[in-house]
Structure 1
Amino acid sequence: MSRRERLRAETTREIKAIALRLLAEGGPDAIALRAIAREMGMTAGAVYGYYATRDDLISTLIADVYTALVDRLEAARDAAPADDPGARIVAWGEAVRGWSVERPAEFRLVYGDPVPGYRPPPGGPAAEAELRACTGLVGLAAAVWPRRPGRPEDGQFGWGDFEPGLTAHVRSEFPGLPPAGLALALRMWGRMHGLVALEVYGHLRPQSADPAKLFRVEMCELVRELGLR
């Protein structure tokens, strides 16, 4: 990289770092290009040379944050034995919680209420990371499916129960997985995400002295219900 390219890359990283700090301190409304410019000792026009609008910056932050999350989830999953789907489910879930409680503001940016006034780009700001997360979670369900005891409710699901784009992706990536397998993946996600959201938004701590223990027991119970332990 040329000196000019290095300086631009460093400035871009600094802008994003300040934006994430403002997010953590004051929520999404605190992210303002002019505020970032003042803190960096730049003119507002100079910052607009890096991000033309606040929406562009927020889209970049969401993509970066979501990608960092998925990197962590995949690494945790792959650190567990490939022939132990139960351990991989627990590892994925624990990584979801670990990342979320360490970075509550970033969790809210990705999974919380829409940022006021923000207009995402067509296809969403983090389509690639979202697809990776979806594929990883459905992959966990697909690995469990051959070992899981059948349930009467499995027959209630058809491909028409799901968003067409999601259905097409799952049927392409996991051709042997029935619609109930996709439903299982979404239900697994709900059990992971539900407790985490309660904790991040401050609703769980008053009732539980040890949310980490509560979450781990829930993950272990999920694995047992799937007939793996």
Structure 2
Amino acid sequence: MSPNPRSAPRRERARAATIDEIKQTALALMRERGTVEVRFTDIARVMDMTPPALYRYFADRDELVSALIKDAYEGLGEAVAKARAEAPPGDIAAAWVAAGQAYRRWAHEEPQQFALILGMPLPDYAAPPDGSTSEAAGRAMAQLSSLFVEALHQGRLGPPRIREVHPAVELCARIKHEQHEVAVGPAHFQAMMHAWAALHGFTSLEANGHFAWMDPEARDALFLGQLRLAAEAAGLPVPA
């Protein structure tokens, strides 16, 4: 008797649905507990499965965490890309503000995912050797770095405030250029890293409650000032 040609796709859909349920259950447990720890025993209990059954879908905890990390970076990248697309075409300053606001908003809406990818490293976690999590991170962060390339192509990328570049940073710039074709020089690569550090630093402090003593309007104003300051220091068009 010949096999049903529809059975394999059906099994694949069922497997994909179970994998998605495992990941969503892990995220729900993280949100419930306010942590990024993942335990197969807890996931299995919620899903009414035995812990060994989960190993049919993920080889170990690290493989599950890697899948969650990739999903988180994809979510962040999509949020920033959507915000950028809604900015007026060619308006680098507006796109920078939109991207920064989306980064901050996503951190507020997805605190566990934000902590998983941009917080303290998970104890005993080893990233996959195939580099898939690094590639996902690169795609997400490209939503920010590509603003510099776009500004360069428009002739609107001015000199950064800090132009001296340490040889070690120059080496990092060359490596990134070879890996991702970052089409800006070392000084602007350094400025790009400074801009991300400024954006992430504010977002991380706020996400961890360190600005809770300020009312929301004051935090919004402070954040916009941070984006303006970062743009000015980096040579990007400065938002109004």
| TM-score, reference length from structure 1 | 0.87
Kindly state the Cα deviation for residue 173 of structure 1 after the two structures are TM-superposed. 4.0
Of the candidates 200, 203, 207, which is equivalent to residue 196 of structure 1?
Answer: 203
Kindly state the Cα deviation for residue 222 of structure 1 after the two structures are TM-superposed. 3.9
Aligned position for 1:218: 226
Kindly state the Cα deviation for residue 134 of structure 1 after the two structures are TM-superposed. 3.5
Kindly state the Cα deviation for residue 224 of structure 1 after the two structures are TM-superposed. 5.4
Q: Report sequence identity in percent.
A: 33
- Say if 1:213 and 1:7 are closer, same or farther in 2 by CA, change over 3 A: same
Of the candidates 2, 13, 17, which is equivalent to residue 10 of structure 1?
Answer: 17
- Say if 1:187 and 1:152 are closer, same or farther in 2 by CA, change over 3 A: closer
Separation in structure 2 between the aligned mates of residue 51 and residue 63 of structure 1, nearest angstrom: 14
Q: Give CA-to-partner distance per residue, 1:129-154, whole Å, 9 cap, x none.
A: 22223433222123334324435732
- Taking only aligned residues, the RMSD between alpha carbons, in angstroms, comes to 2.3
- Say if 1:208 and 1:178 are closer, same or farther in 2 by CA, change over 3 A: same
Kindly state the Cα deviation for residue 76 of structure 1 after the two structures are TM-superposed. 1.3
Aligned position for 1:114: 121
Aligned position for 1:92: 99
Aligned position for 1:165: 175
Separation in structure 1 between the aligned mates of residue 12 and residue 162 of structure 2, nearest angstrom: 57
Gaps of 5+ in 2: 1-7
Name the SS for the 2:224 alignment partner: helix
CA contact (8 A) 1:142 1:181 kept: no
Aligned position for 1:150: 159
Are 1:62 and 2:72 counterparts? no
Kindly state the Cα deviation for residue 101 of structure 1 after the two structures are TM-superposed. 0.5
Letter in 2 for 1:147: R
Name the SS for the 1:126 alignment partner: helix
Q: Give CA-to-partner distance per residue, 1:63-116, whole Å, 9 cap, x none.
A: 111111111111211222332111111111011001001111111000111112
Aligned length: 224
Separation in structure 2 between the aligned mates of residue 94 and residue 185 of structure 1, nearest angstrom: 17
Kindly state the Cα deviation for residue 217 of structure 1 after the two structures are TM-superposed. 3.3
Of the candidates 13, 27, 39, which is equivalent to residue 32 of structure 1?
Answer: 39
Deviates more, 1:199-208 or 1:178-187: 199-208
| TM-score, reference length from structure 2 | 0.83
Gaps of 5+ in 1: none
